[in-house]
Homo-oligomer: A and B are copies of this chain.
């Protein structure tokens, strides 16, 4: 179908394009949309029926949305933004220049503005920011029949109808029931008797990743978001949880590689922005590495006596860095997916030390044989092998401890990944190396 669309576009067969689009599935169009050029997207979008246009628009990434908005007249922009679901709208407004966003917010109808403002008032990356107020609420005294009628009537305007929320007069959350349960119950049954009485909920201030993780663990399609008085103010749906989870992983990848995280797609980020994202860490780490250099300078006389020592510096530095990174990444990820907690610190440390000993011993055995075969100084050989074991143990100890310390200090553990650990491990490796060299080789 993509080929068909492109052909019609090329031939300017607008009427036929319109018909084709009208007879196509939204999902299919959405699927094709990502493969079109920005210009083609604008043209195709113009020929969509209004309802499908809105529905497709809401599901696009924000940068595609912005591209489309730029092609609209002001009136059309306002109309469009007004009709978007509040949480999708907040996502769009969040990424827009503040002045444009403000203009748009002002243009919203009073009701829509309230919904958006509610969402905008919460801290970034909290449940409050990504929730939608478009849920269906029931009363516990309703019968199944009454509830189903309400669901049918309100379904169109709601983001999900598959999880229904039971509240009292003051909007206090009293229970949750799935549409599945409702549909399989007898008409006359009262909601109170079949709802989950103690629904899981998060607060508006809960971190969005925690909310997403909770939904994943419980295999639920929507979760309640309550305010301080435990009144239901919104819900988070599973599709948002999926997005949150993916963003969180991407952010961790970036931080762990020493790149300041951004929401923007790689290809759409300017060279200058990218440079700004990357230079700070490179700079910090470069300056840290001068410490390592200073250490080497401090041992210059040892090096003068036995220049062969220098050749082992890369091997020791790299192995230290790699061994430390392995541990830090495993621990960081373990904490991110909630498998490792701070209370496990001792267990983790003990495990890493044993793994480090095994790895270190294995590596130094291989290295010992390698140097022997190359017929080098046996004392030098011993020095390198001994250093390897100590270095791997040190690197892995630091590698597992630092992310946990960061977490304890409420910092992002991902910061304590490869680059930082490598710098620290390097310093440790060289100090160990030269100390052992002095002792064993009598330098």
On chain B, the residues within 8 Å of A218 by CB distance are 27, 30-31, 59
Q: Which of A72-80, A94-102, A322-330, A435-443 contacts B (4 or more CB under 8 A)?
A: A322-330
15 new A-B contacts, CB < 8 A, other than A221-B221, A318-B423, are A25-B197, A25-B198, A25-B200, A31-B200, A162-B162, A238-B239, A245-B246, A249-B249, A256-B329, A257-B330, A258-B322, A266-B339, A266-B348, A293-B315, A304-B307
CB distance from A315 to the nearest CB of B (A): 4
Q: Does A8 contact B (CB under 8 A)?
A: no
| Cβ-defined partner of A285 (8 Å) among B155, B322, B332 | B322
Residues of B within 8 A of A221 (CB): 162, 221, 238
Q: Are B274 and A292 in contact (CB under 8 A)?
A: no
Q: How large is the interface on A (under 10, 10 to 19, 20 to 34, 35 or more residues)?
A: 35 or more
Given the contacts A25-B199, A358-B272, A418 and B257 also touching, CB distance less than 8 Å? yes
Bound-state CA distance A317–B161 (Å) is 57
Contact of A242 among B245, B307, B312 (CB under 8 A): B245
> How far apart are A361's CB and chain B's nearest CB, in angstroms?
10
Q: Is A143 an interface residue (CB 8 A)?
A: no
A70 CB-CB contact with B under 8 Å: no
What are the residues of chain B within 8 A of A355 when measuring CB–CB? Answer: 271, 274-275, 278
Residue A344 lies at the interface, judged by CB distance under 8 Å to chain B? yes
Q: Which residue of B lies closest to A313 (CB)?
A: B313
Chain B residues whose C-beta falls within 8 Å of the C-beta of A47 in the assembled complex: none
Best-buried of A183, A312, A314 by chain B (most CB within 10 Å): A314
A169 close to chain B: CB less than 8 A: no
With an 8 A cutoff between CB atoms, is A283 at the interface?
yes
Residues in chain B near residue A375, CB distance under 8 A: none
Task: Using A307-B303, A314-B317, A319-B285 as known contacts, say yes or no to A339 and B267 having CB atoms under 8 A apart.
Answer: yes
The reply to whether the CB of A105 lies closer than 8 angstroms to some CB of chain B is no
